[in-house]
Amino acid sequence: MQKKDNGSVKTDSKIKDLYYYYKEKGLYRYVGWNILKIIFFYALFVLLIYLIGKYLLDFNHIFQYFLDRLSDRFVLILFFVSESFLGLVPVDLFVIWTLKFESPAIYLAILGILSYTGGIISYYIGLWIAKRPKIKSYTERRLKNYIEFVRKWGGAFIIIAALFPFTPFSMVVIALTLLHYPFKPFLLFALTRLVRFVIQGVLFFNVLNIDAWIF
């Protein structure tokens, strides 16, 4: 019993040490500030969609126009390429796209798997960049903020990048690869990318009821 108690105390101590370490390094301030920005962005997004849809445009017609002309295969390939190379297309658009199906959850799961796989490809892109000094030097300058965050917060920043939209996941993956971050821990932390699509699906479909606004 004494050993268990000692083990529990040590675990509690490690958790406290980790908590204060991240607090000192500014992790919670960074997350809190960006969550406020996300709330503001989505509130503004909903307001704009409502006003534009009511007074200017028929979103139902616009989205239907594009959905009829873009094949499902093309959309999935575009998403996979975007998630593998710098995340240039907002994930939100693809989440909205899943509303065209009777079971959006299935396609949200597919998007999650493709995004996770895209992160793995980004890791290997980072390895390729790391072997080319000139490209590496340029990339390090472009991603210096993300590189600094990975240095300070390690795996915690991978989880943040996987869950929240304010950090492009593929760019963070490339940044951590340039720091020679181990592959196996990356695979583990990156699994939270799948959770991102569950959360965003609930937010869009159950909280904001996006389908009622644009379809």
Task: Give the helix ranges, DSSP H, for 85-191.
Answer: 91-97, 104-130, 133-142, 144-153, 155-163, 169-178, 183-190
Rank 4-13, 18-27, 117-126 by mean pLDDT and report only the highest.
117-126
Instruction: Give the pLDDT mean for 103-116.
Output: 93
Average pLDDT, the chain: 85
State the Cα–Cα distance between residues 20 and 13, nearest whole angstrom: 11
Range with the poorest average pLDDT among 3-12, 41-50, 62-71, 117-126: 3-12
Judge contact between 111 and 95, C-beta under 8 A: yes
**pLDDT tier at 138 (50, 70, 90 boundaries)?**
very high
CA–CA distance from 82 to each of 31, 119, 152, 163 (Å)?
A: 24, 10, 27, 17
**Which pLDDT score is estimated for 211?**
64
The mean pLDDT of 157-186, rounded to a whole number, is 92
Q: Check pLDDT > 70 for residue 88.
A: yes
- Close Cβ partners of 108 (under 8 Å, ≥ 6 residues apart): 95, 98, 197, 198, 200, 201
Asked if pLDDT for residue 59 goes beyond 70, the answer is no
- Averaged over 79-104, what is the pLDDT? 87
Cα separation, 187 vs 2, whole angstroms: 36
- The residue whose two tokens read 């299935």 is 106
pLDDT at 7: 57
Nearest CA to 165 out of 77, 95, 73 is that of 95
pLDDT of 6 strictly over 70: no
Question: Which pLDDT band, with edges at 50, 70 and 90, does 197 fall under?
Answer: very high
pTM: 0.83
Is the model's pLDDT at 174 over the cut of 60?
yes
